[in-house]
């Protein structure tokens, strides 16, 4: 009898252990001025997820918000600026080992001077898309969402609009690929979504926004007078560039466009205006060449920015669907930032906070019940290498970038009034298509050549499979 009872207890314990949840992915998703966000995905539904952190030698627990019992988000709040924090994730009482993406510690950001204003950026929304993760020339399978009435591009972009509205930013810049296949109905749907933003919306054309078949729906539906244009906010100048060939989506920036671009930068320098440049393609020579400007055009851009340093704050791009913060040997002191797409892993939007002595970028994960599940599904993109290629380190996503001393001196004083002046210069835009080292900045990509190596490997594998199928 006793033997039978003991065996029964052992069996129950063994079965319980087999059914215990395990973490399949843990990420330190965001670090701000006084908070951090950790996400935990488990293989089965569980309520036994705990995130603890230590402050002043005292261990504290952070509240866990769960969806379907598998997708857990933890927000650690009430921290001090520049505070170093250790944290631990436990699932069913078992500590999750630290990784590159779950380092077990972080340091909150700090405010470089007096706050002036903030703005948001999003990119690669691909409104109308039905399958993501495809790579041209390969037979790699893509990913789709089962509910055709509520496609992934819809719930991710509606969620980002809601979050940005809650952040109360001055304006929003879209860094390209508003649509999936440059169709009129896609831009109409994009207008429906982004017209809900409570701040002014400024788009940049991406390669998916080209118009090879006639009418330029990107321009007409979004009601843009010019597709390369500028505006000024609180004495900061913002240049939004259309570098897309309308026929094939490749790079194109005419001599006339470039002359306008240089004139805008020269006027900014003469007016002592910090200047921010936005375009779809990456610019730094250290960017993956599959997603950057190439050849002479890239060199011209970098030399033009280097010649106006230190007044050029940075060049901000989408297209690569990844998070990375780069430098350039040709244009030292200029920040080159690429950020992830909204519509798939690692879905996020960026908050840029501008101060008198520098600026802060905070990457915010896009959150909704469907978003959590979808972003977990699409970590499987690119043969399971999406996290390696797209997420980047926390320093790529969240960082402080001090201004050069000349920009600090040129900052307006408190006597100059509020920073809520928006001066839109789009009507004088181009006729397109008609230094210092920064904290957290990199000299090169986290995984050198990761995209190139992946694409080559997939192309070879696709050819081999086709040959075998042909017999």
Q: CA quadruple 181, 184, 189, 191: dihedral positive or negative? A: positive
Q: Where residue 471 falls among pLDDT bands split at 50, 70, 90?
A: low
- What number is the average pLDDT over the span 317-332? 96
Which residue would you say has higher pLDDT here, 401 or 419?
Answer: 401
Residue 68 has pLDDT above 70, yes or no: yes
CB atoms within 10 A of CB 97: 10
pLDDT at residue 57 in the model: 87
- What number is the average pLDDT over the span 76-104? 97
Parallel/antiparallel/unpaired status of strands 348-355 and 335-338: unpaired
pLDDT tens digits, one per residue of 365-413 = 999 999 999 999 999 999 899 999 999 999 999 999 999 988 985 445 5
Question: Chain-wide mean pLDDT for the chain?
Answer: 87
- What is the C-alpha to C-alpha distance for residues 281 and 316, in angstroms, rounded to an integer? 9
- What is the C-alpha to C-alpha distance for residues 98 and 88, in angstroms, rounded to an integer? 9
Residue 442 has pLDDT above 50, yes or no: no
Helix axes 295-307, 255-270, angle to 10 degrees: 20
Q: Poorest-confidence range of 2-11, 128-137, 372-381, 398-407?
A: 2-11
pLDDT at residue 139 in the model: 75
Tell me how long the chain is: 471
Q: Poorest-confidence range of 240-244, 273-277, 291-295, 335-339?
A: 291-295
- What is the C-alpha to C-alpha distance for residues 27 and 336, in angstroms, rounded to an integer? 24
Which residue would you say has higher pLDDT here, 464 or 37?
Answer: 37
Which residue would you say has higher pLDDT here, 443 or 255?
Answer: 255
Residue 11 has pLDDT above 90, yes or no: no
Q: Where residue 332 falls among pLDDT bands split at 50, 70, 90?
A: very high
pLDDT at residue 410 in the model: 46
pLDDT at residue 19 in the model: 72
Residue 94 has pLDDT above 60, yes or no: yes
Q: What are the beta bridge partners of residue 431? A: none
- What number is the average pLDDT over the span 279-298? 93
- What number is the average pLDDT over the span 60-76? 97
- CB proximity list for 428: less than 8 A, separation 6 or greater: 229, 230
* Residues 122 and 160: beta-carbon distance below 8 Å: yes
Residue 92, CA distances (Å) to 48, 89, 151 in order: 5, 10, 34
pLDDT at residue 9 in the model: 45
Closest alpha carbon to 225 in 424, 441, 15: 424
- What number is the average pLDDT over the span 33-45? 98
pLDDT at residue 441 in the model: 39
pLDDT at residue 72 in the model: 98
pLDDT at residue 408 in the model: 87
Strands (E), 181-319: 201-203, 229-233, 236-240, 275-278, 312-317
- What number is the average pLDDT over the span 36-50? 97
pLDDT tens digits, one per residue of 209-267 = 999 888 999 999 999 999 999 999 999 999 999 999 999 999 999 999 999 999 999 99
Which residue would you say has higher pLDDT here, 430 or 114?
Answer: 114
pLDDT at residue 157 in the model: 98
- What is the C-alpha to C-alpha distance for residues 423 and 180, in angstroms, rounded to an integer? 31
What is the percentage of the chain residues whose pLDDT exceeds 70?
Answer: 83
């Amino acid at each position: 009898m006793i033997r039978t009872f003991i065996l029964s207890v052992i069996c129950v314990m063994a079965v319980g252990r087999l059914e215990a949840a395990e973490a399949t992915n843990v990420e330190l998703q965001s670090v701000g001025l006084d908070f951090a966000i950790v996400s935990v995905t488990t293989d089965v539904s569980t309520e036994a997820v705990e995130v603890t952190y230590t402050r002043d030698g005292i261990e504290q627990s952070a509240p866990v918000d769960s969806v379907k019992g598998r997708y857990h988000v933890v927000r650690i709040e009430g921290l001090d600026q520049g505070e170093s924090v250790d944290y631990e994730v436990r699932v069913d009482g078992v500590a999750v080992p630290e990784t590159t993406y779950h380092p077990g510690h972080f340091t909150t950001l700090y405010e470089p001077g007096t706050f002036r204003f903030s703005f948001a950026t999003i990119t690669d929304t691909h409104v109308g898309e039905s399958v993501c993760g495809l790579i041209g020339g390969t037979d790699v399978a893509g990913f789709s969402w089962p509910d055709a009435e509520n496609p992934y591009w819809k719930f991710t972009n509606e969620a980002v609009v809601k979050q940005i509205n809650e952040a109360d930013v001055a304006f929003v810049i879209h860094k390209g690929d508003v649509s999936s296949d440059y169709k009129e109905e896609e831009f109409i749907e994009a207008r429906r979504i982004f017209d809900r933003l409570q701040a002014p919306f400024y788009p940049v054309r991406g390669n998916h926004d080209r118009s090879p078949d006639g009418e330029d729906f990107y321009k007409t539906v979004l009601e843009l007078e010019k597709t390369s244009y500028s505006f000024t906010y609180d004495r900061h100048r913002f240049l939004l560039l259309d570098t897309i060939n309308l026929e094939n989506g490749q790079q194109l920036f005419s001599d006339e466009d470039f002359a306008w671009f240089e004139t805008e930068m020269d006027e900014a320098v003469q007016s002592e205006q910090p200047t921010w440049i936005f375009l779809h393609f990456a610019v730094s020579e250290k960017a993956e060449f599959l997603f950057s400007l190439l050849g002479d055009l890239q060199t011209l851009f970098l030399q033009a920015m280097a010649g106006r340093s230190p007044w050029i704050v940075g060049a901000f791009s989408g297209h690569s669907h990844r998070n990375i913060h780069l430098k350039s040997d040709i244009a030292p002191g200029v920040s080159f930032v690429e950020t992830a797409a909204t519509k798939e892993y690692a879905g996020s939007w960026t908050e840029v906070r501008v101060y008198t002595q520098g600026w802060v970028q905070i990457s915010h994960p896009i959150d909704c019940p469907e978003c959590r599940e979808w972003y977990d599904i699409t970590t499987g993109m690119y043969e399971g290498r999406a996290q390696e290629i797209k997420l980047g380190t926390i320093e790529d996503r969240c960082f402080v970038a001090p201004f050069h001393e000349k920009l600090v001196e040129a900052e307006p004083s408190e006597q100059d009034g509020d920073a809520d002046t928006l001066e839109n210069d789009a009507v004088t835009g181009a006729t397109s298509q008609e230094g210092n080292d920064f904290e957290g900045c990199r000299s090169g990509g986290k995984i050198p050549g990761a995209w190139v190596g992946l694409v080559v490997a997939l192309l070879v594998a696709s050819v081999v499979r086709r040959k075998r199928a042909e017999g």
